[in-house]
């Protein structure tokens, strides 16, 4: 599976634009996003899963342009805060194609969703059912909700991204009866309509087995309720971050998981629900490349290549031990390569971008480095650690580059400090 954007000629151009030209115009660090790649993946998912519903998981990456691309490609949109909803609303995304998620939605989140008229709200606790019902009491029509169920499926991924197992914060347990109690509460609220069930078993899942198991368990629960119109199986589809790695094949998923739903429904004697999946990373991860400028090279037990970004623009290695590839982008280096560890500028020993990756032996200060597969959970998780400003997001397509999100400035940081 390719780790570079669809239009890339690695490691020098993306979308027909020289990466050196982007670095010179927009500075570094900078996120580069291939619009054509994003649209291609949206279409690939829609085609493979037709006639089922595909909702883009906005938490992976969201800005107004991304909202427009998803809308134009006829996907739904999954948001998990009033802030993400505000972006969607400002870009005119149809409210009836929005789902609101989150294990701890604030009253402000729920009120914003109701005010905009979102299509579905995924409830994550019995308390939330009561709170939402009270807020929805003045609506002309009941609010459609899905109950998020924990199906006790272990996807065998990093603990921090395993969300379908017991003893974690998401969802309502099937085994304990918490899911059934939440369903009873929803059914008892005139201002709410139970549209179906939802689950999300984790992230970076490369095999379909866990999805099939979760689907069968949720259909069995649906049968106890006499059947429901909708079943949402979440996302979490794996992507390749380094050469030789494999992601989840969308066509295999489309062949096997809907079949598991259909066969279980037939066995239980209930109608097939409308199926929804929520890819995020799988849509946008490989569309992104992050550019860094080398600040220095240190030789010792290991060779450290220090760059002008780090954990403030990519916290995933520090959080999950994530591994990345790195390429010299601005010139052709020496023929021989050596293993180096690319590290960031922040005051943390764990500020590592990529450990033990091959780079040309003559890598030096001023060089431009490109890190592929950085479209998901980079911009969205970026911080101001050490009061470092966040990078811009630059879109490319057809030989043109333009900013989607401008670079943050020190003035932006000071403007928020009102003490």
For residue 140, the model assigns a pLDDT of 87
Which residues of the chain have a pLDDT value below 70? Answer: 1, 154-169
344 CB contacts (<8 Å, ≥6 apart)? 306, 307, 309, 310, 311, 312, 351, 352, 353
Residues 192-212 have pLDDT tens digits of 999 999 999 888 899 999 999
What letter would DSSP give residue 207? -
* pLDDT in the model for residue 170: 78
Burial of 245 (0-12, 13-18, 19+ CB in 10 A): middle
Q: pTM for the whole thing? A: 0.94
Q: Catalytic site residue 347?
A: yes
What is the homologous superfamily of the domain 286-416 according to CATH? Lyase, Ornithine Decarboxylase; Chain A, domain 1 (2.40.37.10)
| Residue 2, pLDDT score | 87
Q: What is the pLDDT of residue 155?
A: 55
CB 152, CB 132: distance < 8 Å? no
Residue whose C-alpha is closest to residue 215's, from 233, 188, 201: 233
Q: 383 CB contacts (<8 Å, ≥6 apart)?
A: 311, 312, 315, 390
User: Phi and psi of 20, rounded to 5°?
Assistant: -65, -40
What's residue 399's pLDDT?
97
d(CA 29, CA 24) in angstroms, rounded, equals 11
pLDDT value at residue 5: 97
* pLDDT value, residue 151: 87
- Exactly one of 42, 80, 265, 347 is catalytic; which is it? 347
Domain ranges of the chain: 35-283, 286-416
Question: Helix, strand, or coil here: 29?
Answer: coil
pLDDT at residue 168 in the model: 64
Per DSSP, 250 falls in state H
Q: End-to-end alpha-carbon separation of the chain, Å?
A: 50
Return the C-alpha torsion angle 331, 335, 340, 343, nearest 10.
0
Neighbours of 216 (CB within 10 A): 19
Element (H, E) at 340: strand 337-343
- Would you say 226 and 270 are in contact if contact means Cβ atoms under 8 Å apart? yes
Burial of 102 from C-beta contacts in 10 A (0-12 / 13-18 / 19+): buried
Give the CATH architecture of domain 35-283: Alpha-Beta Barrel (3.20)
């Amino acid at each position: 599976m390719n780790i570079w954007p669809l239009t890339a000629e690695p490691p020098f151009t993306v979308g027909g634009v020289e990466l050196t030209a982007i670095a010179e115009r927009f500075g570094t660090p900078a996120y580069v996003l291939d619009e054509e790649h994003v649209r291609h993946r949206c279409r690939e998912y829609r085609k493979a899963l037709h006639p089922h519903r595909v909702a883009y998981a906005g938490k992976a990456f969201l800005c107004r342009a991304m909202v427009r691309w998803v809308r134009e490609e006829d996907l739904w949109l999954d948001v998990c805060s009033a802030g993400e909803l505000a972006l969607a609303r400002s870009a005119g995304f149809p409210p009836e194609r929005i789902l609101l998620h989150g294990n701890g939605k604030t009253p402000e989140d729920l009120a914003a969703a109701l005010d905009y008229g979102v299509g579905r709200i995924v409830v994550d606790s019995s308390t939330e059912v009561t709170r939402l019902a009270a807020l929805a009491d003045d609506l002309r029509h009941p609010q459609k909700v899905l109950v998020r169920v924990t199906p006790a499926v272990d996807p065998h991924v990093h603990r921090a991204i395993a969300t379908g197992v017991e003893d974690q914060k998401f969802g309502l347990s099937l085994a304990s009866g918490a899911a059934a109690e939440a369903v009873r509460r929803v059914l008892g609220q005139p201002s709410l309509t139970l549209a179906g069930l939802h689950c999300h078993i984790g992230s970076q899942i490369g095999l379909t087995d866990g999805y099939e198991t979760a689907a069968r368990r949720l259909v069995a629960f649906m049968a106890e309720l006499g059947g429901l119109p909708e079943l949402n199986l979440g996302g979490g589809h794996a992507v390749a971050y380094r050469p030789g790695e494999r992601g989840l094949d969308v066509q295999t998923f489309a062949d096997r998981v809907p079949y598991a739903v259909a066969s279980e429904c037939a066995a239980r004697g209930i109608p097939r629900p409308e199926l929804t999946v929520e890819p995020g990373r799988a849509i946008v991860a490989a569309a992104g490349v992050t550019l860094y400028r080398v600040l220095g090279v240190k030789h010792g037990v290991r060779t450290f290549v220090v760059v002008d970004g780090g954990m403030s623009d990519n916290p995933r290695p520090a959080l999950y031990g994530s591994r990345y590839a790195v390429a010299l982008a601005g010139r052709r280096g020496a023929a021989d390569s050596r293993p180096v560890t690319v590290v960031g500028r922040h005051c943390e020993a764990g500020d590592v971008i990529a450990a033990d990756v091959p780079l040309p032996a003559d890598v030096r200060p001023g060089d431009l480095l490109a890190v592929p597969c950085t479209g998901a959970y980079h911009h969205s998780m970026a911080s101001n650690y050490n009061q470092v400003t966040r990078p811009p997001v630059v879109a490319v397509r057809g030989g043109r580059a333009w900013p989607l999100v401008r670079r943050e400035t020190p003035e932006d940081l000071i403007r928020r400090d009102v003490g």
